[in-house]
Amino acid sequence: MAGNTDYKRKFTAEKYDRIEITVPKGKKEVIKNCAVAVGESVNRYINRAIDDRMEQDYRTIDETMERDERGQTE
């Protein structure tokens, strides 16, 4: 079984980057409960939240750039 664990660890190290985040005491449990409520792992829940925010931010950036190119302001 140790070989399988070693393989998984090596695969993860080669294919994924790790990011450590710090949250206020108690928030980790809130995040975990929210993830469970929607049927996701904590990792998936956080990744989806990041993806959703990045999509929103990029859409806003794109709209601003398009407006600037047309010479419009808000």
- At 42 the pLDDT is 97
Note whether residue 18 is domain-resident.
no
For residue range 35-54, list pLDDT tens digits in order. Answer: 999 999 999 999 999 999 99
How far is it, in rounded angstroms, from Cα 7 to Cα 18? 17
For Cα atoms 28, 36, 1, give the angle at the middle one, nearest 5 degrees. 85
Note whether residue 12 is domain-resident.
no
For Cα atoms 33, 41, 8, give the angle at the middle one, nearest 5 degrees. 145
Note whether residue 8 is domain-resident.
no
Rg over CA atoms, the chain:
19
> How many structural domains comprise the chain?
1
- At 43 the pLDDT is 96
Note whether residue 4 is domain-resident.
no
Note whether residue 50 is domain-resident.
yes
Domain of residue 30 covers: 23-74
Note whether residue 27 is domain-resident.
yes
- At 51 the pLDDT is 93
Helix 42-69 × helix 27-37 angle, to 10°: 90
